[in-house]
Amino acid sequence: MLMCKRVLKHQTSDTGEIPFFKISTFGGVPDTFISEELYEDFKTNYNHPKKGDVLISAAGTLGKTVIYDGKPSYFQDSNIVWIDNDESQILNKYLYYFYQTKPWQTTTGSTIKRIYNNDLRALKIEKLPLSTQHAITSVLSALDDKIELNNRINEVLEAKAKLLYDYWFVQFEFPASGASAPLSPLDGSRSPRNGGYKSSGGKMVYNKKLKREIPEGWEVKRLEEIAKTGSGGTPKSTIKSYYENGTIAWINSGELNDPFIVNTKNFIPDE
């Protein structure tokens, strides 16, 4: 297990030339930097990852992995580590996807507190032919690229939705009957071209509860005044027949943390 030479606090700064990634910023945006002179010295005389090496967080958020892109940067010693991998045996990308299986979890599902040399040495990885490794990583890389693209699209759509909400329900420039339709904020414009409700002369009235003006005819109500809320029941886990031979997915609250639910721990029968 390899790591960079220790960088002392007085050798870092909030601004600088070379990003210095700590365990808290690993895989994200750096907030600490070192000088180019120190970087060249440490890179030349001590351990430094090669482009393509798989970096691992050995503490904190344990097992977070990043493939080093080769750009000038330095990493916190002992907390961010890598192995001197022989790619004639195991491809770096194959190793990267192997790490995604969280092999440092114990058989009870808990995670060890820290990754040490012996933990890495003890890992067992299936050594497949390089052609098979290439095929596997090619498929997984394509999926990762698609996921990244979808995430970027979602971020743009979310920003546009927030802008649209601001236009319609904060600035009250929603399309109004008898008024010119406002410019849709979805094209990135910051102001309506032809005007919406408010800018087209829509009547505004002062609301005492909100202490601001709102469109005439709008009301302020509590959610309970306009909608009903409720919850279902939970089949008792002590009654085995409720869960044996079930075919209908039963989703518990913990499983709602994932945006897409493809499987559930429990199933209940039709009855």
Predicted confidence at residue 182, as pLDDT, reads: 44
Q: How many structural domains are present in the chain?
A: 3
The answer to whether residues 57 and 165 belong to one domain is no
Of the three residues 95, 126, 157, the one that is the final residue of a domain is: 126
3-state secondary structure (DSSP) of residue 160: helix
Given a cut of 90, is residue 256 above it in pLDDT? no
Please give the backbone phi and psi of residue 228, each rounded to the nearest 5 degrees, phi first. -105, 140
C-alpha distances out from residue 190 to 61, 171, 194, 207, Å: 40, 12, 13, 27
The answer to whether residues 161 and 216 belong to one domain is yes
Of the three residues 211, 226, 241, the one that is the final residue of a domain is: 226
Q: Note the pLDDT tens digit of each residue in 19-44.
A: 999 988 998 899 999 999 999 999 99
pTM of the entire predicted model? 0.64
The answer to whether residues 43 and 147 belong to one domain is no
Given a cut of 60, is residue 180 above it in pLDDT? no
Given a cut of 90, is residue 118 above it in pLDDT? no
The answer to whether residues 174 and 260 belong to one domain is no
Percent of the chain with pLDDT over 90: 59
CA angle 101, 104, 107 (to 5 degrees): 90
3-state secondary structure (DSSP) of residue 236: coil
48 vs 33: CA distance, rounded Å = 16
Q: Note the pLDDT tens digit of each residue in 120-172.
A: 888 899 999 999 999 999 999 999 999 999 999 999 999 999 999 999 999 99
Q: pLDDT grade, residue 102 (50/70/90)? A: confident
265 vs 131: CA distance, rounded Å = 36
In the predicted model, what is the mean pLDDT of the chain? 87
Please tell me what DSSP assigns to residue 246: -
The answer to whether residues 259 and 168 belong to one domain is no
3-state secondary structure (DSSP) of residue 208: coil
63 vs 78: CA distance, rounded Å = 13
CB neighbours of residue 2 within 10 Å: 13
* Structural domain harbouring 139: 133-226
Predicted confidence at residue 12, as pLDDT, reads: 95
Do 217 and 207 touch, CB atoms closer than 8 A? no
Q: Note the pLDDT tens digit of each residue in 57-68.
A: 988 878 889 999
The answer to whether residues 122 and 170 belong to one domain is no
Given a cut of 70, is residue 109 above it in pLDDT? no
Q: pLDDT grade, residue 110 (50/70/90)? A: low
What average pLDDT does the segment 81-94 reach? 95
Of the three residues 107, 126, 145, the one that is the final residue of a domain is: 126
Q: Note the pLDDT tens digit of each residue in 237-247.
A: 888 888 888 88
At a CB cut-off of 8 Å and minimum separation 6, what does 26 contact?
55, 57, 61, 64, 66, 75, 76, 79, 80
Name the residue among 164, 161, 156, 204 with its Cα closest to residue 183.
Answer: 164
The answer to whether residues 84 and 194 belong to one domain is no
